[in-house]
Structure 1
Amino acid sequence: MTPDERRIQPRKQPRQVRAELTRQRILTAAAHVFGAHGYAAGTTNRIAERAGVSIGSLYQYFPNKDAILAELLTRHLDDGAAAAAKIRDGELPGPIEDILRLLVRSAIDSHLDDPQLLRMLNEQAPRPAELLENVERLKRYWYGYLQEILDGHPEVRLADTATAARLIFTTIELVVHQLAAEHEPVDSRRLENEMVAMLTRYVRG
């Protein structure tokens, strides 16, 4: 483990319910503080005050605000993985347009809860090697799953489904991340409709 990776490792992994609730309260408070004040002004003192804990208690769980921010990014990735599993375990709709809408809506729903925090995570969150590996693992999962959908759907008219799967995933992720994190609110329904229309035209050839 590198010095930078040790710097953002949580100090304490709670084993009791009360301790886990405290840890989650700190993370929830940090999400609010970072979103409202930005990273530079989002101090551990502000986070502790928002969470209703002493600064000493906060430091029992996290050594610094970098570690808190990294944990928020990890939680965001975990939510994305859970959403992916839910889609794959469920029954997909028949038309390719409806499948693409399901994928786009899932991405939008997971990114519009707190656009200010999302912008913070995109721009300033520490990214240790383990976290980057999790990102790559999730991407490979989606690439394979999307290619399966494209290969097996009668409406799809694409010669290179492997590249198409990567293009679709990357387009959804980048566009939703970018627009959800902008200062001006995005109309999620319009964003969904336009992305679905664009991707549907693409896969139908």
Structure 2
Amino acid sequence: MATRDRAVPRKKPRQERAKATVEALLEAAAQVLVSSGYEGTTTKQVAERAGVSIGTLYQYYPSKEALVAALVERLSQQLLAALTETLVPRQRGGMEEVTRELVRTLMGVYAVNPQLQRVLLEQAPRIGPLHTVQEMEVRVESIVRNSLSRGLETLRPRNLELAVFLLTRAVRGATWATVIERPELVGDPELEEELCAMVLGYLRREGSPPPHSGFTDSPRSSR
């Protein structure tokens, strides 16, 4: 069976009971992937964790690859929903304000089941093109690019595309490390403050105005 065929679910659940079974299978697959890794995951393990027979699993998913593909689809939709709900790109504001909004939003997106995100992004590409993951990454980068492009004259990096790539990966890595290695820091305002300071230090051009200076041409209010 070709890899692409193996990654395609056999059928979609229609009745509520079938939908509950599929949800249990996907949740079990996520747990096994996180605990055992891609190589260590088997359909037998997933069926046992979900409390169903292997035959029931194969009614919906012909292989481990199909389970992973379904998980990728589900997780990517969750991430896209998080982006849509948490960020309305600011049209006006200072560098610090815009940066803080971006960092807060990216941290929220990458904190959605980070252990599973890491397994899927690192291991699952072997099953074929992961269009939903790519779509999510493109959406994230587009939001960051649009926000930064309004303040090019105040930015140190000359290559905007490279800056977007580095910024998103830096925040993603820091968020994953926090959730996985230092979960007690999740939600700590100091963590957000320090991450914003790190990002601002990278973005701000030497000799540029201090924080609260605008990305836009609008003057600051005097105090």
- TM bucket by the smaller chain? 0.7 to 0.9
1:55-204 equivalences in 2 (<5 Å): 55-89=54-88, 94-112=93-111, 114-131=113-130, 133-153=131-151, 156-158=154-156, 160=158, 162-163=160-161, 164-177=163-176, 179=177, 184-185=181-182, 187-188=185-186, 189=188, 191-204=191-204
Q: Give the Cα separation in 2 of the matches to 1:67 and 1:84.
A: 26
Q: Residue in 2 aligned with 1:42?
A: 41
Offset at residue 170 of structure 1 (A):
3.4
Q: CA deviation at 1:109?
A: 3.4
Structure 2 unaligned spans of 5+: 206-223
Q: Secondary structure at the match of 1:63?
A: coil
Equivalent residues of 2:72, 2:133 under 8 A apart: no
Deviation (angstroms), 1:19: 2.0
Deviation of 1:197 (Å): 0.8
Structure 1 match to 2:29: 30
- Calculate the TM-score normalised by the size of structure 1: 0.76
* Contact 1:36–1:116, Cα closer than 8 Å, also in 2: no
RMSD: 3.3
TM-score normalised over the length of structure 2: 0.71
Distance 1:115 1:170, change over 3 A: closer
SS of residue in 2 equivalent to 1:33: helix
Equivalenced residues, count: 201
Shift, 1:158, TM fit: 4.8
Change (3 A) 1:118 1:130: closer
Give the deviation of 1:60 after TM superposition. Answer: 0.8
Higher helix share: 1
Overall identity of the aligned pairs, in %: 35
Q: CA deviation at 1:199?
A: 1.1
| Matched AA of 1:200 | L
Deviation at 1:61, TM superposition (A): 1.0
Q: Does the 8 Å contact 1:150/1:156 carry over to 2?
A: no
Task: Give 2:201's aligned amino acid.
Answer: R
Whichever of the two has the greater Rg, that structure is: 2
Shift of 1:76: 2.2
Deviation at 1:79, TM superposition (A): 1.9
CA distance in 2, matches of 1:180, 1:61: 35
Contact preservation (8 Å) 2:65, 2:127:
no
